[in-house]
Amino acid sequence: MTLKIDRQAYYWPALFGFAILFFANFVANPIFVSHDNWRPVLLGAAPFIITTWAQTVPIMSGNGDLDLSVGPLAGLVNAIAAVTLPSLGLTDPFSMITIALGIGVASGLLNGFLVTIVRVQPIIATLGTFLTYQGLTLEVLPTAGGSAPPWMRVISGESFGVPGIVWVFVIIAVLWWLLGKTAYRRNLLAVGGDIRAAYTAGVNVTAVRIVAFVIAGVLASVTGLVFTATLGSADPTVGAPYILTSIAGVALGGVAFSGGRGGLLGAAAGGALLFLIENLFSLAQVSIYYIQIAYGSILLAALALNSITDRIRRRKAAAALV
């Protein structure tokens, strides 16, 4: 379960694509890599990357699991953090972070419960929560407004020459790495790989899938806090676009939609890729509508690539069984 250099690893195409687009951005605008530009670039990329991470975990648990509510949940947390909590006088970091993450856990439990216990199709169950969160967000905050407490500059600002958002990435990566040291990652890959094999071997498949949704919820909430810090306020429309990009990012990241293969490295590259494309489009001053077309096409291309590599892998596995 350790990180080894493996040429066959799922994340290489994503890293390769990332490298190419990074270079393209640099060519289009050499300032892109300048030190002053790091902070805004990373803050812009953060919602892409963190929502993709959130999406990755349920998708890795297979069985059609995915979470359409990650974007809207991030938007809801953004509204609550910038409007509701300040109105209640809760602006200290501890309360805000605890409440935000608590909302994420609750949302994950709800989605997981609907999917594994009530057995609603994941795409329908999370479509339901997605619409609910959208409605709640507009209830809390009909138009853009609210304000971020000053401590959030830790995230949006810079300390010791390092953008604060980097620490958010590092904390998530370290926690994921630690999770990989526990039994959870193996259980997750097993449930995603073949739920019957996992179940008969004695894995608590329901718990594994619910926890996957909880991780998605928590990461979506983190995105909500990042929105708050970046915008300095809240915007009810900020979350929804990240539903599509989180799924596209997962596909670009080489994570198998059938489950059982993937990780945060590929997903990060996949999410970052989408940001780089958007950035490239805005540098070229292309209309925002074309970005939608590009995302849609990229999603389809990534899914096609995903299924082709899946087929090649399966053929190789079959050849080994001769």
Give the CA count within 13 Å in the CB-facing half-sphere of 163: 20
**Spatial contact of 58 and 65, defined as CB atoms under 8 Å apart:** yes
Q: Dmax of the chain from CA atoms?
A: 68
* Contact status: 98 vs another protein (CB under 8 A): no
Interacting residue with another protein among 112, 116, 122, 261 (CB under 8 A): 261
Report the residue number, 214 or 231, with the smaller CB distance to another protein. Answer: 214
Rounded Cα distance between 115 and 123, Å, is 9
* Contact status: 118 vs another protein (CB under 8 A): no
**Residue at token pair 């929804």:** 240
Interacting residue with another protein among 161, 196, 285, 289 (CB under 8 A): 196
Interacting residue with another protein among 52, 78, 187, 246 (CB under 8 A): 187
Interacting residue with another protein among 183, 284, 293, 312 (CB under 8 A): 183
- SS3 state at 234: strand
* Contact status: 101 vs another protein (CB under 8 A): no
Report the residue number, 168 or 211, with the smaller CB distance to another protein. Answer: 211
Q: In this structure, what are the phi and psi dihedrals at residue 145, rounded to the nearest 5 degrees?
A: 175, -160
31: DSSP letter: G
Interacting residue with another protein among 86, 136, 194, 303 (CB under 8 A): 194
Near another protein in 294-313, by CB under 8 A: 313
Q: Closest separation between CB of residue 109 and another protein, Å?
A: 14
Instruction: Supply the DSSP string of 133-166, one letter for each residue.
Output: HHHHHHHH-SSSB----GGGHHHHSEETTEEHHH
Interacting residue with another protein among 170, 171, 197, 312 (CB under 8 A): 197
Rounded Cα distance between 109 and 7, Å, is 37
* Contact status: 316 vs another protein (CB under 8 A): yes
Which residues lie below 8 Å from residue 21, measured CB to CB, with a gap of 6+? 273, 276, 277, 280
* Contact status: 199 vs another protein (CB under 8 A): yes
Interacting residue with another protein among 34, 95, 200, 297 (CB under 8 A): 200
Residues that bind another protein (CB under 8 A): 179, 182-184, 186-187, 189-190, 193-194, 196-204, 207-208, 211, 260-261, 313, 316-317, 320-322
